[in-house]
């Protein structure tokens, strides 16, 4: 069969979003859109537009002139335009670039390739790879690339060890937090196929270009998580989603939430179905309604009656890790207490509970390692038995109970925080308890002389009670 050379004209259309600075260091806002426009070759072997199927994509790798990767096996969809094709745009800063891979691919089949310098087919094309080009501000650039049909050749003829490539399909994605304002934010993204997590992404506070390397015809689920916000979930088929997005990024909006990450421990004798569970109660300043996403597919509507002391809720889990989100009337919640935490570790985020006054984690024992309530300025009562307690600089604390050996390194910090708030706000008749176990009466740790002096001031000047007391 006659060897053929297929000529494609690559037209880079540059759109300037914002005015560029005159120096070479261009700000991120000065990125330009680059669109590849493929003309149809009909004059070499009679090939027509129909020679390329709808599933054919351009796979391209681009580096900077200093060798930094910009795109690696990046797949660009070909859209029909007259007798040729136009790809969806990519963004590039003005500067010097080098094309290191240039292929037409139909699913996993490589159809046409630009050969590399030194390969046996390099002489067939005008610009073998790597090929350098320059993107300048506010100019139109045309780059003519030639590709050779793979049909009768092996990868080594093009300068490749193999044509095995991971085709990267772009998925532009941005995450926003809701609240008084809508803001771009960072988050974690998890790509799931059925029950299996196949990719984990770290998202920045920007439009992220995710690399989708999986079957574009199968169904996947994208889950976005950020502490303090309810999870976002999107079930999709890649090809259908890209068509639905119509050139725009996929946006996820995260609702403020009371969030808990629950990790259920391995099987313990006496518990059915390898199960663990969490039981907690909520109180509110007035009647409230919240929605609990238990993280295992169960969604529960929970009314909170302010006329009763508290509303109790519980849930059973199998082994695994679960992200729980509670949304709704968060501004009304004043009290959160753990009643039981069986065979599980728990991480809690109270950032969006602006009226929270009481946090009682007595029955969680040491199964909550870190508690950060620095944003809960109205806190009055805290019971905690983990390792790290982070308190607000300004609060209304008047009951503080900490226990367990893990808290010992933080004693001076806790005592200082309590003392400072007491003096600044004239808080009288409070209570500070530090035990090895709840109500054991056995002191732990050895506070500094300065902390002992602050305890003395609390008890003698402000009427605080201190348990169990330290002996000199």
Per residue in 422-437, pLDDT (tens digit) is 999 999 999 999 988 8
pLDDT classification of 441: cutoffs 50, 70, 90:
confident
From the list 41, 39, 37, 36, the residue with the least C-alpha distance to 6 is 41
Q: How many CB atoms neighbour CB 146 within 10 A?
A: 19
The yes-or-no verdict on residue 26 having pLDDT over 70 is no
The whole-angstrom separation of Cα 48 and Cα 360 is: 73
- What is the pLDDT averaged over residues 274-295? 92
Residue corresponding to tokens 């090929």: 131
Report the mean per-residue pLDDT for the chain: 84
What is the reported pLDDT for 274?
A: 56
For 422, the token pair is: 């007491």
The yes-or-no verdict on residue 309 having pLDDT over 80 is yes
The yes-or-no verdict on residue 39 having pLDDT over 80 is no
Strand runs (DSSP E) across 294-447, as ranges? 299-304, 311-317, 320-328, 333-342, 344-349, 358-360, 370-372, 381-384, 388-390, 399-403, 431-435
- What is the pLDDT averaged over residues 286-313? 95
- What is the pLDDT averaged over residues 214-237? 94
Condensed to tens digits (0 to 9), the pLDDT of residues 363-406 reads 998 899 999 999 999 999 999 999 999 999 999 999 999 999 99
What is the reported pLDDT for 8?
A: 40
pLDDT classification of 269: cutoffs 50, 70, 90:
low
The yes-or-no verdict on residue 48 having pLDDT over 50 is no
The whole-angstrom separation of Cα 394 and Cα 397 is: 9
The whole-angstrom separation of Cα 461 and Cα 448 is: 20
What is the reported pLDDT for 141?
A: 62
What is the reported pLDDT for 165?
A: 67
The yes-or-no verdict on residue 81 having pLDDT over 70 is no
The whole-angstrom separation of Cα 350 and Cα 356 is: 8
- Asked whether the CA dihedral 394, 400, 401, 404 is positive or negative, the reply is positive
């Amino acid at each position: 069969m006659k060897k053929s050379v297929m000529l494609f004209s690559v037209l880079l259309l540059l759109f300037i979003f914002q005015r560029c600075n005159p120096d070479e260091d261009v700000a991120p806002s000065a990125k330009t859109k680059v669109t590849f426009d493929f003309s149809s070759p009909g004059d070499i072997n009679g090939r027509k537009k129909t020679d390329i199927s709808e599933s054919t994509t351009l796979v391209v790798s681009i580096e900077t002139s200093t060798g930094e990767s910009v795109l690696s096996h990046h797949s660009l969809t070909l859209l029909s335009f007259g007798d040729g094709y136009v790809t969806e745009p990519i963004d590039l800063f003005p500067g010097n670039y080098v094309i290191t891979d240039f292929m037409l691919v139909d699913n996993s089949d490589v159809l046409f390739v630009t050969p590399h310098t030194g390969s046996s087919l390099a002489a067939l094309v005008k610009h073998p790879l790597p090929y350098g080009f320059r993107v300048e501000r506010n100019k139109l650039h045309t780059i003519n690339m030639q590709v050779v049909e793979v049909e009768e050749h092996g990868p080594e003829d093009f300068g490749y060890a193999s044509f095995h490539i991971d085709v990267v399909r772009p998925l532009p994605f941005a995450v926003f937090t809701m609240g008084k304002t809508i803001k771009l934010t960072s988050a974690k993204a998890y790509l799931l196929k059925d029950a299996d997590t196949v990719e984990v992404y770290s998202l920045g506070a920007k439009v992220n270009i995710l690399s989708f390397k999986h079957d574009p015809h199968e169904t996947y689920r994208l889950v976005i998580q950020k502490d303090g916000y309810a999870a976002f979930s999107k079930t999709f088929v890649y090809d259908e989603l890209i068509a639905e997005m119509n050139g725009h990024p996929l946006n996820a909006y995260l609702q403020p939430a009371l969030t808990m990450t629950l990790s259920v421990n391995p099987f313990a004798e006496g518990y059915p179905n390898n199960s663990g569970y969490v039981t907690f109660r909520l109180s509110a300043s007035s009647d409230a309604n919240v929605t609990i996403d238990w993280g295992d597919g169960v969604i529960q509507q929970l009314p909170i009656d302010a006329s009763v002391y508290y509303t109790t809720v519980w849930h059973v889990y199998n082994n695994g890790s679960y992200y729980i989100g509670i949304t709704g009337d968060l501004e009304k919640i004043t009290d959160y207490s753990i009643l039981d935490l069986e065979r599980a570790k728990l991480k809690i985020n109270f950032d969006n509970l602006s009226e929270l006054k009481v946090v009682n984690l007595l029955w969680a024992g040491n199964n909550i390692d870190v508690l950060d309530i620095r944003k809960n300025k109205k806190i009055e009562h805290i019971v905690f038995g983990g390792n790290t307690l982070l308190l607000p600089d300004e609060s209304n604390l008047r009951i503080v109970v900490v226990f367990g050996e893990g808290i010992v390194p933080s004693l001076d910090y806790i005592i200082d925080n309590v003392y400072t708030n007491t003096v600044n706000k004239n808080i009288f008749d409070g209570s500070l308890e530090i035990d090895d176990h709840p109500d054991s009466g056995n002191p732990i740790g050895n506070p500094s002389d300065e902390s002992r002096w602050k305890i003395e001031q609390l008890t003698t000047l402000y009427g605080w009670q201190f348990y169990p007391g330290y002996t000199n």
